[in-house]
Amino acid sequence: MNHQFDLTGKVALVTGASYGIGFAIASALAEAGATIVFNDIKQELVDKGVAAYAEQGVTVHGYVCDVTNEDAVNELVSKVEAEVGVIDVLVNNAGIIKRIPMVEMSAKDFRQVIDVDLNAPFIVSKAVIPSMIKKGGGKIINICSMMSELGRETVSAYAAAKGGLKMLTKNIASEYGQYNIQCNGIGPGYIATPQTAPLREVQPDGSKHPFDQFILAKTPANRWGEASDLGGPAVFLASAASDFVNGHILYVDGGILAYIGKQP
């Protein structure tokens, strides 16, 4: 079975993968044999990412690119094809969130979240699909969210974008499945990252943070996910093992979406 998950010879572009979830996914793809290409919006972040991969013994190709800029993305893809090779696997990971009550959120802020979390995956996917068609196939993995299915206070823009990304995933699968292109999504649950660390801090009285308690109570696995929990699903969706899986959103959430919660 191992050959089905082997990514040797494949070029994988993971957007925004200098740290966090994108870094963990790219690292897993590299371990499976893929050549990793990633971007970030600033040279400083790209340099830090390259150094972090090097610490793991992984050689990567890092580029500066704003994935909301269509001309810049087209230039990036052309450069990658010339310097590394045709992109076999695209992971649309770059994203932002702004936690603001809807009635207090400006249309400008709303549009920015939509631009990064939904328009950018459209732009980057559109840029890589023609070469995937010429090569005879490819894999696109969109990083969705539980907010692709659920709403929550203060995340109207994020939920709207991730819900849209779920449907973009299904539509790419519908439109380009005939060319042996599989487009699927991964929907992470609550992941323990540096960004969520303040929500997991022990309180002065020794108790868990209220949000930490809330998440643990809602998660059958009774823990936060680790970024490494996303590696296996990503390798599966990037490999030949998923050649007949298309338009699917794989939720890696410890069971949250399956669980109604404990009775008070």
Residue written as token pair 């203060």: 154
Q: Is 57:63 a contact under the CB 8 Å cutoff?
A: no
Dihedral of CA 109/111/114/117: which sign? Answer: negative
Residue of 53, 158, 190, 251 marked catalytic: 158
Non-local (6+) Cβ contacts of 184 within 8 A are: 139, 140, 141, 142, 169, 173, 237, 242, 245, 246, 247, 248, 249, 250
The conformational region for residue 35 under phi > 0 = left, psi -120 to 50 = alpha, else beta, is: beta
Q: Is 183:125 a contact under the CB 8 Å cutoff?
A: yes
Answer yes or no: 158 catalytic: yes
Q: Which residues are catalytic?
A: 158
